[in-house]
Structure 1
Amino acid sequence: MRLTRFLTILALGSVFALAFAGCTKSNNKDSASPSSSSAPPASEQSSASPSADEAAAKLEKLGLDSNFKFKETRKITVEIYDRGNTGGSKPEDNVYTKYIKDGMLRDHNVEVTFVPVPRWTEGEVLNNLLAAGQAPDISVTYSYPTIQTYANMGGITDLAPFVDEYKDLLPNLWGYLTDSNINWDRDPSTGKLWALEARLNVLNRINTFVREDWLKKLDLQAPTSLQEFESMLKAFKDNASTLLGKDADKIIPFSTSFDVGWRTDHLTTSFVPDNITDKDIYVNGFDDRKLLYPNYKEGIRTLNKWYNEGLVWKDFPLYPAGDKTEDNLIKTGFVGAFIHNWDYPYRDGEDGITANLHKLVGPDANYIAVEPFPNDAGVYRKFLSAPVDRKLFFPSTNKEPLASMFYLDWISKLENRVYLQFGEEGKTHEKMPDGSFKTIAATDEYIMNSPANIDYTITSNGIDTGNPDLTAKSLANGYAGVDARLIEIANKITTNGGRVGQNAKAGEIKSEEGQGEALSKKRDAFLDQAVVASVDKFDAAYDAGMKDYLNSGGQAIIDERKAAWEKLYGSETMLK
């Protein structure tokens, strides 16, 4: 049956290719007159279509049967993030990995082994694995410069020949990611394709959260401006005894982390002029924390002012990625406001922030998303990601590219994605009368180590049922023990006024090679130093840090990106 479908696809593909070639010629200014047909004779068209024997021969050459299953077992390794979740399962060995392993063996005769990589140090660990020639056959990262660095050293496989040659064997991958995500990173001059971009189903990114019960207790309205937000923080501090009683000295009006760029995004980007051009966004956008956007410094200056007024958690720079100290302070009820991932306080069921607040403080202790930071045009602008996510690549040590491609195809199939996102009915979800999914907090082997198992659905980030209405309903149902009202508010605010990222298609920027992790560390360090500096020393701390950042490679990237843009678009400043 699959062989028949394969033949049909190949035949149709040939017909469409010929038709497209004909259309291209007829639209050419130098084409022949209408009387001279650009299409080949019928006999040539017939011979161009693959025969059953030719298709069977292709499968035979690839070692496949008619169901795209290898005749001899192949083995691949796949990277999986280890988030170190308390109460979670081993990320490389659990119910969900068994589902994938069993499915790949059944459908393609491919044996899968998962290789755990610590989530919070994944860049460093992956660098070490690549340098040692030990990276998993299918590797995952958020850092494209890491991939580009090793590609230039011959350490990454060019995926272009495989996605093109095997397209007819990968209907789920092509159907789900589409040409846009598959070819997002294809170099326009060389045609090289070092990575595929996973699909970001939901552009939800960041939200600003405030303790709703504290607002009510102090008879405050949700803040809608920077001044109102600052006044609210001061009210929290001034009324600590009312809010926390004997624990008044532990109050933290506003919390952030060492990663100031991510964790104060709504504040800092509200200082960016609304008329920023696509050119500026591309030239300065290699730092995903928006560090180089115009006027960003003033957002950090505001945070510095708050810190010196005792409104910001004084110990925020001390704890590295993955540390749970801040989360525990939030769960205990000491934190009034923070900025984080769009649904952060609603995650993790019984182990999450909301559940712990309800247990330790009371059922009304909730965080609610607010919009307090309009920009110079009065818009609550959100700089949203392009619809791309993690980058999927094969190191050059991958000896099974087709088996690896089948893995990406299998993980992109709707029924497999839905199972991995929602788990087992009766264990992790229940089916609602309208067909949507409602999450049940799992307490056993069905616990998911990441939201909606995104660490396993590596071609997909965000819930997707295949039906937009059911997806929206399932999203609202997806947080056990959390009032759906809070999810709906957060979901609406996080993309309100959004500006979605675009693909400038400028190709490789050589000066970015090897710089991603190093520049990110410099950025985090100097922003932390600038925030905790005394007010009179803020400019010196910030400017010195920025100078070092630019001299360490940042300026070279800016210059090369500017030249690449102008080569492609001339004096244009906006993408069409």
Structure 2
Amino acid sequence: MGFRKSFSILAISTALALTLSACTSDNKAPSASSASPSSPASSAPSASASDSGDANSERLEKIGLDSNVKFKETRKITVEIYDRGNDGGSKPEDNFYTQYIKDGMLRDHNVEVTFVPVPRWTEGEALNNLLAGNQAPDVSITYSYPTIQTYANMGGILDLAPLVEENKDILPDMWEYLTEANIYWDRDPSTGTLWALESRLNTLNRINTFVREDWLKKLNIEAPTTLQEFESMLVAFKDNASTLLGSDADKMIPFSTSFDVGWRADHLTTSYVPDNMTDRDVFVYGFDDRHLLFPNYKEGIRTLNKWYNQGLVWKDFPLYPAGDKTEDNLMKAGYVGAFIHNWDYPYRDGDEGIHANLQRLVGPDAAYIAIEPFANDAGVYKKFLSGPVDRKIFFPATNKEPVASLLYINWISKLENRVFLQFGEEGVTHEKLPDGSLKTIAATGEKIMNSPANIDYTITSNGIDLGNPDLTVKSMANAYAGVDARFIEVANQITTHDGRVGKNANVGEIKAEEGQGQALKDKRDAFLDKAVVASVDQFDSVYDSGMKDYLTTGGQAIIDERAAAWEKYFGTETMLK
């Protein structure tokens, strides 16, 4: 395939899993029932131990819990759940898995749970509306920390710092799984306030570039390893549309993207970013998670604009909003030659997914495979990866049951609960193989999962984790029903190859970001779409005008404040240790 540094899935994933596993072994929260070390069973407790036990019992009694950490009187909480609008999916707030959670929380803690669905693809707007109307779920989640900060400044978010400390003894699973690193990731270094907990990203896999492997073979083209080879491949797809699609040649789409150009062209655009970019500049200019403000980003969009004007890009990509399935259906039908998307995107969703439909409609050899064609100025296939954090979990000020809500987070972090939610019932949604690993069985009916490995329910965890690194890696390779493991191996290897992992440059609140998250996102998406579809001679004008608007309506103020904050905490240093 022409890949450089071709490592196996087991080598890379095992190392990653071991690293993450090692993180959880430190700073474990003490068990509520831990015994004194080296004390004989018949020994009487010391006065200090007895006093501590009495104090703990009194504290539990005060907040209404018995010695088993179960409320004496039933408490009620609401929990946010994403609604992905899946065709053939179940109701996200009422299904087999929500019932498992409800039954477990009622049994273990006497807490009634009600799920509140929020549209996944417009979650920022929806959550803003809920918070503004004092109707946000008690346990809320978002990918947008500025949204949380905005409402925290208005008194609309609970400070979790005292809550997680005061209740540490009854939250052992949360502390062990998230560790202090994720729990305190967002703690303000000046005020000590903590508005959100960061869930754990078990793998740093992000996105990949995919091409039709069968088309490469049919045209006798090697998998491209350079930008020029990739472009030549797209031209070949267009020029040979009749060979590849027959009577459907007019439906040929050499390269597809979506309205979210920033996400969907990321490997292309970041290949233009200089390899020697400093940690300081990554922090100052990296608040837009599409890397819009990174140096030389514009040239990546210029390339996409050139391809669009050459008829190599899906002409209708800006017309379809988030969650629309039109593009997926074009891929399933076999009309799309290449695209950039989530690292395993074509292999998801079992029988309903792109891979299964492509093979069913086109033929058994039809498949997308991940490739690595976009090297930067140093010849490195740089990927800007996240730190080991994912969604942000927070409690709105309207939450009247913070302890019950923390117990929910602890319950959802417990290993056996996470594993059940990620794999479901043995013999129904997974099978256990002789080596102890688990293999997913495509689910139907009430036990279908609306999100990969039920990540919408395992809110403290994104990515398969069986508590055993070896079994986790093997199960990861087994997790795609009906997909040849080699496709997963290649995708897994490439997505983090030459990756640059995000660091936590925590400087506290950036006030200029308040209220800007959704507004700047909308501006970015709109002007990038316009820049891609502009005529070549109008590209600079359209792009520069859009960027100017982005900067003057909030972007530049954020840059300036971030630069000042970096200097305050890190001085003239340009790299984090």
Give TM-score scaled by structure 1 length.
0.93
Cross-structure match for 1:210: 211
Cross-structure match for 1:355: 356
Q: Aligned partner of 2:512: which letter? A: S
1:137 equivalenced with 2:163 (yes/no): no
Q: Aligned partner of 2:306: which letter? A: K
Query: What CA distance in whole angstroms lies between the structure 2 residues aligned with 1:49 and 1:153?
Result: 43
- The superposition leaves residues 509-532 of structure 1 with CA deviations (integer Å, 9 ceiling, x where unpaired) of 000000000000000000001000
Q: CA deviation at 1:47?
A: 4.4
Cross-structure match for 2:193: 192
- The superposition leaves residues 227-285 of structure 1 with CA deviations (integer Å, 9 ceiling, x where unpaired) of 00000000000000000000001000000000000001100000000000000000001
- CA distance 1:237–1:483, change in 2 (3 Å): same
Cross-structure match for 2:495: 494
Q: Any unmatched runs of 5+ in structure 2?
A: 1-29, 38-45
Q: CA deviation at 1:49?
A: 7.6
Query: What CA distance in whole angstroms lies between the structure 2 residues aligned with 1:51 and 1:500?
Result: 42
Cross-structure match for 1:158: 159
- The superposition leaves residues 210-232 of structure 1 with CA deviations (integer Å, 9 ceiling, x where unpaired) of 00000000000000000000000
Q: How many residues align?
A: 540
The answer on whether the counterparts of 1:188 and 1:506 sit within 8 Å (CA) in structure 2 is yes
The answer on whether the counterparts of 1:7 and 1:55 sit within 8 Å (CA) in structure 2 is no
Give the structure with higher Rg (CA).
1
- CA distance 1:50–1:229, change in 2 (3 Å): farther
Taking only aligned residues, the RMSD between alpha carbons, in angstroms, comes to 1.2
1:85 equivalenced with 2:111 (yes/no): no
Query: What CA distance in whole angstroms lies between the structure 1 residues aligned with 2:574 and 2:173?
Result: 37
Q: CA deviation at 1:7?
A: 5.3
Cross-structure match for 1:19: none
Q: Aligned partner of 1:445: which letter? A: E
Secondary structure at 1:6's aligned position in 2? Answer: coil
Q: Aligned partner of 2:207: which letter? A: I
Query: What CA distance in whole angstroms lies between the structure 2 residues aligned with 1:363 and 1:372?
Result: 26
1:6 equivalenced with 2:37 (yes/no): no
Query: What CA distance in whole angstroms lies between the structure 2 residues aligned with 1:496 and 1:119?
Result: 29
Cross-structure match for 2:450: 449
The answer on whether the counterparts of 1:7 and 1:50 sit within 8 Å (CA) in structure 2 is no
Cross-structure match for 2:328: 327
Query: What CA distance in whole angstroms lies between the structure 2 residues aligned with 1:551 and 1:253?
Result: 36
Q: CA deviation at 1:505?
A: 1.2
1:64 equivalenced with 2:65 (yes/no): yes
Q: CA deviation at 1:55?
A: 2.0
Q: CA deviation at 1:57?
A: 1.3
Query: What CA distance in whole angstroms lies between the structure 2 residues aligned with 1:518 and 1:215?
Result: 41
Cross-structure match for 2:413: 412
Q: Aligned partner of 1:100: which letter? A: I
- The superposition leaves residues 158-179 of structure 1 with CA deviations (integer Å, 9 ceiling, x where unpaired) of 0011111101110000000000
Cross-structure match for 2:18: none
Q: Aligned partner of 1:371: which letter? A: E
> Where in structure 2 are the equivalents of 1:39-438 lying within 5 Å?
47=48, 50-438=51-439
Q: CA deviation at 1:50?
A: 3.9
Q: Aligned partner of 1:296: which letter? A: Y
Q: CA deviation at 1:51?
A: 3.3
- The superposition leaves residues 368-427 of structure 1 with CA deviations (integer Å, 9 ceiling, x where unpaired) of 000000000001111000100000000000000000000000000000000000011111
Q: Aligned partner of 2:32: which letter? A: F
Query: What CA distance in whole angstroms lies between the structure 2 residues aligned with 1:46 and 1:252?
Result: 76
Query: What CA distance in whole angstroms lies between the structure 2 residues aligned with 1:457 and 1:6?
Result: 23
The answer on whether the counterparts of 2:257 and 2:339 sit within 8 Å (CA) in structure 1 is yes
The answer on whether the counterparts of 1:430 and 1:437 sit within 8 Å (CA) in structure 2 is yes
Query: What CA distance in whole angstroms lies between the structure 2 residues aligned with 1:49 and 1:133?
Result: 44
Q: Aligned partner of 1:388: which letter? A: V
The answer on whether the counterparts of 1:73 and 1:111 sit within 8 Å (CA) in structure 2 is yes
Query: What CA distance in whole angstroms lies between the structure 2 residues aligned with 1:570 and 1:88?
Result: 51
Query: What CA distance in whole angstroms lies between the structure 1 residues aligned with 2:52 and 2:469?
Result: 39
Q: CA deviation at 1:8?
A: 3.5
Give TM-score scaled by structure 2 length.
0.92
Q: Aligned partner of 1:145: which letter? A: P
The answer on whether the counterparts of 2:256 and 2:313 sit within 8 Å (CA) in structure 1 is yes
Query: What CA distance in whole angstroms lies between the structure 2 residues aligned with 1:202 and 1:224?
Result: 25
Q: Aligned partner of 1:176: which letter? A: Y
The answer on whether the counterparts of 2:158 and 2:396 sit within 8 Å (CA) in structure 1 is yes
Q: Aligned partner of 2:68: which letter? A: N
Q: CA deviation at 1:107?
A: 0.4
Query: What CA distance in whole angstroms lies between the structure 2 residues aligned with 1:483 and 1:512?
Result: 44
Q: CA deviation at 1:472?
A: 1.0
Secondary structure at 1:72's aligned position in 2? Answer: coil
Secondary structure at 2:112's aligned position in 1? Answer: strand
Secondary structure at 2:198's aligned position in 1? Answer: strand
Secondary structure at 1:289's aligned position in 2? Answer: coil
Q: CA deviation at 1:56?
A: 1.6
1:530 equivalenced with 2:531 (yes/no): yes
The answer on whether the counterparts of 2:195 and 2:394 sit within 8 Å (CA) in structure 1 is yes
Q: Aligned partner of 1:302: which letter? A: T
Q: CA deviation at 1:304?
A: 0.4
Query: What CA distance in whole angstroms lies between the structure 2 residues aligned with 1:444 and 1:121?
Result: 26
The answer on whether the counterparts of 2:86 and 2:450 sit within 8 Å (CA) in structure 1 is yes
- CA distance 1:574–1:201, change in 2 (3 Å): same
The answer on whether the counterparts of 2:235 and 2:254 sit within 8 Å (CA) in structure 1 is yes
Q: CA deviation at 1:59?
A: 1.4
Q: Aligned partner of 1:457: which letter? A: T
Runs in 1 of length 4+ with deviation above 3 angstroms? Answer: 45-51
Q: CA deviation at 1:350?
A: 0.6
The answer on whether the counterparts of 1:7 and 1:52 sit within 8 Å (CA) in structure 2 is no
Query: What CA distance in whole angstroms lies between the structure 2 residues aligned with 1:461 and 1:224?
Result: 30
Query: What CA distance in whole angstroms lies between the structure 2 residues aligned with 1:6 and 1:459?
Result: 21
Query: What CA distance in whole angstroms lies between the structure 2 residues aligned with 1:333 and 1:47?
Result: 71
Query: What CA distance in whole angstroms lies between the structure 2 residues aligned with 1:465 and 1:407?
Result: 20
The answer on whether the counterparts of 2:255 and 2:314 sit within 8 Å (CA) in structure 1 is yes
Cross-structure match for 1:41: none
- CA distance 1:311–1:50, change in 2 (3 Å): farther
Q: CA deviation at 1:54?
A: 2.0
Q: CA deviation at 1:308?
A: 0.4
Cross-structure match for 2:576: 575
Secondary structure at 1:163's aligned position in 2? Answer: helix
The answer on whether the counterparts of 2:31 and 2:170 sit within 8 Å (CA) in structure 1 is no
- CA distance 1:377–1:49, change in 2 (3 Å): farther
The answer on whether the counterparts of 1:81 and 1:119 sit within 8 Å (CA) in structure 2 is yes
- CA distance 1:49–1:562, change in 2 (3 Å): farther
Query: What CA distance in whole angstroms lies between the structure 1 residues aligned with 2:512 and 2:61?
Result: 44
Secondary structure at 2:445's aligned position in 1? Answer: coil
Q: Any unmatched runs of 5+ in structure 1?
A: 13-44
The answer on whether the counterparts of 2:267 and 2:374 sit within 8 Å (CA) in structure 1 is yes
Q: CA deviation at 1:444?
A: 1.5
Secondary structure at 1:445's aligned position in 2? Answer: helix
Cross-structure match for 2:471: 470
Query: What CA distance in whole angstroms lies between the structure 1 residues aligned with 2:266 and 2:98?
Result: 35
The answer on whether the counterparts of 1:240 and 1:249 sit within 8 Å (CA) in structure 2 is yes
Query: What CA distance in whole angstroms lies between the structure 1 residues aligned with 2:137 and 2:281?
Result: 36
Q: Aligned partner of 1:446: which letter? A: K
Query: What CA distance in whole angstroms lies between the structure 1 residues aligned with 2:369 and 2:32?
Result: 51
1:561 equivalenced with 2:562 (yes/no): yes
Query: What CA distance in whole angstroms lies between the structure 1 residues aligned with 2:163 and 2:390?
Result: 21
The answer on whether the counterparts of 2:31 and 2:172 sit within 8 Å (CA) in structure 1 is no
